[in-house]
Structure 1
Amino acid sequence: MILKIKNLGSINQAEIDLSKDLILLCGEQDYWQTYLTHTIYHLFSFDTSFFLELTKFAQWEDLQELVQELQENNRLEINLLEKVDNYFLPYKHQILSTTTTYLREKIREIFTGFKESFINTEIVIDADNEFIKRQIILSNYETHFGNMQKGYFMTASKPSLSPMLSFEVTPQHQFTTERLQSAISMNIFISLVHSLLGLQTQIFQAKQKFSLGSEQEVQDLAQQTSPFVYLADKLDTISHDFPSLSFYLRHLAQPKDCLIIREPEKGLSIDNQIFIGNFIGNLVNQGFKVVISTNSVPLVEEIRRMIDFEQNPILSSANSISLFFSRKIEWGRFSDN
């Protein structure tokens, strides 16, 4: 899926392929990175449930019969390709058009002090019909018959990278105050826009604050174990600058999570910027989808090194990488891979 943007902050025009495994937003430090990161975030978190009535997706006449058949026989046959042709593709233009309108309004809502700056902002989404069909079929199978996936929006500030659960920590990294930092989490993808990327996440309302209430609740979360404990162990072995990222990987992370990280290098030494670049590459190799905005030359160079390494890329599973530069960058060549 291609996201096209015009007149967003200092960006005159941009095209970004959001279907890639790893998306790097690089360039001179400016508000454009904040604007663009939030645009991508809200595209992923767009609640399109109201499209269900438009597309009649939720009104399939045989839906109840299919559910009953599944319950009685533990077996079900559905021609999803036929459903896509009949109910989704005829409304493709309306759905994508409404989505871009939503994105423009959401950006103006978040950056209320700069509303006038977004009057001329244009956003366009391109998606191939065959790609849409494949993703809708896969997404609907996972949504109705598989496990829900989660996604997290991270902002970086020393001493920790903060996923959706943000922890204020003492110098000893003891959890003292817990709260949800981001008012909006990634959504469970229930309609076309979500299906384009095959991501699924949970819905929270904008500008609504959530409190975990007590340290006991954090301890309860800590009783959970994710499949990626070994990544948390690796992170803790090398650096203790990322306690909440470690907590997320140890207790909350699930396969296919999407991490959107703004400035992961913030407040870090050069060595740790290189380390976090390498670690992000390993996250992608393990099946995470990662979107990063960064001004760090060492971080980007480390990712480039992982791609070019002796003709045998360390960043092996990231066979699709999207790199966007704003203005002129002086740190050298980035692999065409």
Structure 2
Amino acid sequence: MKIKFKNLGPLKKGEVTIRNMTIFCGKNNTGKTYVNYLIYSILETLKDYRTNLNLNIDQLFKEGVQEIDVVSLFDNNFDRIVKEIANEVKENLYKVFNSKKDFFEELELEIELDKEQKREKLIKLKFDRNVTIGENKVKISNLNKVEGSDKITLIYFKEKTEKKILEESLRRYIENFLQICLIQEENQKYMLPTERNGLNIFYNELLRKRANIVENMDFSVEGKEEIENVNNYPKPVKDYLKILTKLDIYDKNEGNEIFVNIAKEMEKEIIRGKYKIDNNRIFYQTENEKELDLYIASSTVKTIFGIIFYLRHLIKNRDYLIIDEPELNLHPENQVKIAKLLVRLVNSGIKVIISTHSDYITKEFNNLLMLDNDFKNKTKIMEKYDYSKEDVLERKNVGAYLFKDGILDEMEIGEEGIITKTFDEVIESINERNDDIYYSIKESGDE
């Protein structure tokens, strides 16, 4: 997916291609969170978008069977739908940011989806789906597609349907189902906002406050203002909060073994303990099994909770994970570890999007990018630094972008990895200062 935009908050223009690993770098207040929220909004719209396909299935109701050329349907509607989705995102972006309606009035947005890839996926699609009604699950229709075919066969069991309203319902069902086949992004997206640390601690208090307001509400101005304040967050933050309100429910989900193992590695290497959910409260259990309320645990333990919970209970293959500042509250040693584990996520099928200020994270990414080359003593070096094939980051899977002076530009990825000028400039500057001070001290001592 490629996104082009102009006039997005502090950003004059930018173009980004979402790859398996997408990295955003730049100084504070340069627009990284704006782009993360924009991507979040696009993914949400792709998942839920509805449009009119002008589908004529009168033959189905007259004759009981009809074939639909789904590839022609795709070709005739794809470009139009993508433009509609871009307009939908633009019109509703203020809701995602919880800003004023006219805040994004000057935004220009263009979305490009891989048309050929989606067409191929559509042709490979196969299903045999029955549509039923009532408690007895009476079968009224069947939708069938063979892998490799460009046709969908619809069958209507007319004798089992007496009311016209059922035909209309079936018409809507078929149209909605075809939209899912044609355009919608079925994968989930999860975001870890920078506010996650505070939310992990105070979400129960926020819920209690909201419940008390609703229970005792007298519709006074003060009461309404309090409710607005409780909900006064951008949508990604509210969505993260919603997950926190259902921890007990999600805690029962058994996650994918691959992602659970990465979560276990994070627990072992970074927090040196594990989390426990009880009565929708988060506890941190130390290595010697001592339980602590999250609010008295370390800042690292508070911060890492979200990603570990996602991996254990929610994330599935090809889902998107967006993280604002994965280095938040982490010692440099742990920043290096989180970089390596994020690469393992990418190699396990998760699309990872991060914004970062961490030179340690990008340097470890560079190490793993360099391992994508064939060179002498590669095996020995990998063994020495405990790297495995799951840690190798393929260059073709990475996109890195720099936010500077209102522009989003793609960074070069060379033999040594990502050329992160934003960090290099600061490091060179501080080294220059250090040299000047050090040699001035030495010269003073020699006099």
2:187 is the alignment partner of 1:168: no
Q: Residue 321 of structure 1 aligns with which residue?
A: 398
Q: CA deviation at 1:230?
A: 1.4
Establish whether residue 280 from structure 1 lines up as the match of residue 342 from structure 2. Answer: yes
Q: Aligned pair 1:106/2:92, yes or no?
A: yes
User: 2:414 maps to what in 1?
Assistant: 335
- Does structure 1 residue 235 correspond to structure 2 residue 266? yes
CA root-mean-square deviation:
4.1
Give me the TM-score of the superposition, normalised by structure 2: 0.53
The answer on whether the counterparts of 2:323 and 2:355 sit within 8 Å (CA) in structure 1 is yes
- Of the three residues 221, 224, 230, the one matched with 2:251 is 221
Q: 1:66 to 1:36 in 2, by over 3 A?
A: farther
Residues 83, 62 of structure 1: CA spacing in aligned structure 2 closer, same or farther, 3 A cutoff? farther
- Cα distance 1:177–1:327, how it changes in 2: closer, same or farther (>3 A)? same
* Count of residue correspondences: 283
Question: Structure 1 residues 36, 183: CA separation in 2 closer, same or farther (over 3 Å shift)?
Answer: closer
Task: Check 1:221–1:127 CA distance in 2 against 1; reply closer, same or farther (3 A cut).
Answer: closer
Change (3 A) 1:128 1:268: closer
Q: In 2 relative to 1, CA 207–248 (structure 1 residues): closer, same or farther, beyond 3 Å?
A: closer
Secondary structure in 2 aligned to 1:13? Answer: strand
Residues 55 and 91 in structure 1, CA contact (< 8 A), matched pair in contact too: no
- Percent identity of paired positions between Structure 1 and Structure 2: 21
1:91 matched to 2:77? The reply is yes
Counterparts of 1:174-323 in structure 2, within 5 Å, are: 210=242, 217-218=248-249, 221-222=251-252, 224-227=254-257, 228-240=259-271, 241=300, 242-309=304-371, 311-312=373-374, 314-316=391-393, 319-323=396-400
- In the superposition, relative to structure 1, how do residues 43 and 135 fare at CA in structure 2: closer, same or farther (>3 Å)? farther
8 Å contact from structure 1 (residues 183, 208) kept in 2: no
Q: Return the structure number with greater relative CO, CA threshold 8 A, min gap 6.
A: 1
Pair 1:292–1:213, CA change in 2 (3 A): closer
1:41 aligns with 2:40: yes
Q: In structure 2, what is the Cα distance between the partners aligned to 1:56 and 1:13?
A: 38
Residue 104 (structure 1) shift: 1.5
What CA distance in whole angstroms lies between the structure 2 residues aligned with 1:45 and 1:93?
Answer: 19
TM-score norm. by structure 1 comes to 0.68
1:244 CA displacement: 3.1
User: Counterpart of 2:2 in structure 1: which amino acid?
Assistant: I
Shift of 1:100: 1.2
Contact (CA 8 Å) 1:304, 1:335: kept in 2 or not? Answer: no
Q: 1:335 and 1:123 mapped to 2: Cα distance?
A: 30
Q: Give the number of the structure whose alpha-carbon radius of gyration is greater.
A: 2
User: In structure 2, do the counterparts of structure 1 residues 306 and 184 end up closer, same or farther at CA, with 3 Å as the change threshold?
Assistant: same
The alpha-carbon deviation at position 152 of structure 1 amounts to: 1.7
Alignment-derived partner of residue 111 in structure 2: 125
